[in-house]
A and B are shown apart, each in its own frame.
Chain A
């Protein structure tokens, strides 16, 4: 059963990631990107990281994808449908294939092929103590980053010119 679920998730994620970049209509691309995020959340759930899967769904799909979709609708032009996007297409495909083959060989030749699935797993209730004890500085830094990102984005997005 999991095999089938894994295969379905992999196909959904990869195909919608390709669609996100290649769909003619950029709004379709944004929705496909959201679907790809959902697929990644499914992988997290398969890896027994349920809390993280929900984190991914809420933040990536619920917030980032919505923001992207809104902005895409804001700046979309009809003429984008006609012009051909992508100039160095062959070069891009070649680069992608080289990277995929190289990294794929690296993974294949590494010791990870022997990593066996284990039944034991960590409960997600450990996340809070870990973040608030070992990584509390990272959390505070994260809030600084978020605060400055919001302030910077508001300043960038408003029309007022000095």
Chain B
């Protein structure tokens, strides 16, 4: 099976990263910001796996790292969504620019 050159994977990863940064900068809806963070994590995972596959093809370290990274993303999503829910119950909206006071 013919493999793509490594650069193509890196380009896809770069584009995803840029999309994630764009989302983080422009969006004020907390949900969209969470989406952006997930996209960022995914682009990083893609890099881990691509680099291991091409530079150290006999090791699986990159895959193991990606597994840990995905698991941490799961924990992050659980806590993040719970925070969004808590904010929503207090404010009836999840616009982050409205959340100024920390007293609730």
Question: Which residues of A does B touch, CB under 8 Å?
Answer: 2-3, 6, 10, 13-14, 17-18, 20-21, 26, 29-30, 33, 36-37, 40, 43-44, 46-49, 51-52, 55-56, 59-60, 63-64, 67-68, 71-72, 74-75, 77, 80, 85-89, 91-93, 95-97, 99-100, 103-104, 107-108, 112-113, 115-118, 120-122, 124, 126-127, 130-131, 135, 138, 142, 145-146, 149-150, 152-154, 156-157, 159
Contact = CB atoms under 8 A, between A and B. Distances in A.
Interface in B1-35: 1-12, 14-23, 25-29, 31-32, 34-35
Interface in B62-100: 63-64, 66-68, 70-79, 81-86, 88-89, 93-94
A151 B46 CA distance: 30
B74 A59 contact: yes
B54 A91 contact: no
Contacts of B11: 104, 107
Contacts, number: 238
B82 A68 contact: no
Contact of A17 (B39, B59, B94): B39
A37 B38 CA distance: 9
Nearest to A89: B26
Contact of A68 (B19, B59, B77, B88): B77
B42 A21 contact: no
Contacts of B76: 149
B58 A146 contact: no
Given A52-B67, A112-B7, A157-B86, 8 more contacts: A6-B4, A33-B39, A64-B38, A64-B74, A100-B14, A116-B5, A145-B75, A146-B75
Contacts of A40: 42, 45-46
B54 A21 contact: no
A40 B9 CA distance: 11
Contacts of B46: 40, 43-44
Nearest to B77: A64
A100 B15 contact: yes
A117 B70 contact: no
A160 B75 CA distance: 23
Contacts of A152: 79, 82
Given A2-B4, A64-B38, A113-B5, A99 B71 contact: no
Contact of A157 (B60, B64, B82): B82
A114 B57 CA distance: 15
B20 to A, nearest CB: 8
